Amino acid sequence: MKCVFCGQQFEDPAEYRQHMKTEHKKFNVVRSLSHVKGTDLYPKVDCSELACRICKKDFDDIKKIAVHLREEHNVKIVGDNLGLLVFKFGTNGWTCAECQENCLSLRVLSRHTATHYRSDICSECGKSYSSKRDLDRHILLIHAKLIQCTKCRIEFKTNQDLAKHRMESKMCWRYKCNVCNERFPGMVGKAKHIAEQHRETMNVIKCSSCPETFADRSRYRKHFIIAHTTKFACSFCDQRFMNSQPLKDHIAAFHTGAKDYVCDVCEKSFARKKSLAQHYWQHREDKRFKCDICCVQFNQKVSWKSHMRSRHPELVDF
């Protein structure tokens, strides 16, 4: 057997254990292995002869000594954070501290121990946890990037907290009335306010080519390009578009029938690039689109939009 710290070889387990006690008694596991990531490099801990260093009481199980240290000496135990592979070493080989099964080598013991513990490892710092819930909590508290409100610069840990802040803080509401500067959380509220309060006094934008008028410049621009230019006009019909991509999709979908966008997973083809992009999410287990208000998740943006329109219309701006 070989010392995992200095590489010295031993034939007798007793000599190996004595060597560990005398030569590596003050070895700091946390500091020395802080860079280690992954279960393959977990430190192996021999718990054959366990004793409390404070009161010298003997124990035959690492869980019992952990409870003893916590309850009798008020010592904080952070075993899950260290990612320890616990075993008992004797003449019969390597014994699992959980079920007492004997293994021929540390490699076999490592594979066997994985059946007892679920190893959820933080990809940022390498710390491991016995459940995904604990890992998610660790990432949220330690590594999660703060989300900043673009209006007041206050930072939040979750999208839910940011969404709640935006709903409650009027100064951070996205939409502002250009007449009286009152703010609204959604476009619908702003439009309703303008229609009720400023219909007579509102400055409208008049189209230079027709009698149409508009409440904002973006709607006027869209109208002008579609109604009064031929840059993105369909050669098969009278439809006009803001740019080239929707024009290409329109021609393929309604005139030529061409389906040039093919899914490389199921080989289903689509006439529009946008349709292919939406289709891809059907092949994924994770749900990318999440409602920040009620936390419902969707794997397609169209489903998320439908949810927002039906459940939270006051926040819809699309």
Same domain, 97 and 124: yes
Same domain, 54 and 137: yes
Same domain, 212 and 276: no
Question: Is the residue at 25 inside a domain?
Answer: no
Question: In sequence order, what DSSP letters do the residues of the chain get, joined into one string?
Answer: -B-TTT--B-S-HHHHHHHHHHHSTT--HHHHTTT--SGGGPPEEE-SSEE-TTT--EES-HHHHHHHHHHHS-PPP-HHHHT-EEEEEETTEEEETTT--EESSHHHHHHHHTTT---EE-TTT--EESSHHHHHHHIIIIIPPPEEPTTT--EESSHHHHHHHHHH-GGG-SEE-TTT--EESSHHHHHHHHHHHSTTTPPPEEPSSSS-EESSHHHHHHHHHHHH--TTB-SSSS-B-SSHHHHHHHHIIIII----EE-TTT--EESSHHHHHHHHGGG-SS--EE-TTT--EESSHHHHHHHHHHH-GGG---
Same domain, 241 and 228: no
Question: Is the residue at 72 inside a domain?
Answer: yes
CATH number at residue 240: 3.30.160.60
Question: Is the residue at 189 inside a domain?
Answer: no
> Which of the listed residues 127, 142, 157 is the one where a domain comes to its end?
142
Same domain, 257 and 224: no
Question: Is the residue at 291 inside a domain?
Answer: no
Instruction: Note down the domain range covering 253.
Output: 235-283
How many domains are contained in the chain?
Answer: 3
Main-chain phi, psi angles of 227, to 5 degrees: -90, -30
Same domain, 43 and 124: yes
Residues linked to residue 46 through DSSP beta bridges, in sequence order: 87
pTM (2 decimals)?
Answer: 0.26
User: In the numeric block, which tokens belong to residue 228?
Assistant: 């009064």
> Which of the listed residues 107, 126, 142 is the one where a domain comes to its end?
142
Question: Is the residue at 276 inside a domain?
Answer: yes
pLDDT in tens, 124-176: 666 666 567 777 777 777 777 778 887 788 888 777 888 888 888 888 888 88
pLDDT in tens, 197-249: 876 655 567 888 888 877 777 788 888 877 887 778 888 887 888 788 888 88
Question: Is the residue at 183 inside a domain?
Answer: no
pLDDT in tens, 8-42: 887 776 787 788 778 776 655 444 444 444 444 45
Same domain, 135 and 209: no
Measured over the CA atoms of residue 161, residue 167, residue 172 and residue 173, the dihedral's sign is positive
Question: Is the residue at 103 inside a domain?
Answer: yes
Question: Is the residue at 67 inside a domain?
Answer: yes
> Residue 80's closest CA among 108, 120, 111?
120
Banded pLDDT at 82 (limits 50, 70, 90): very low
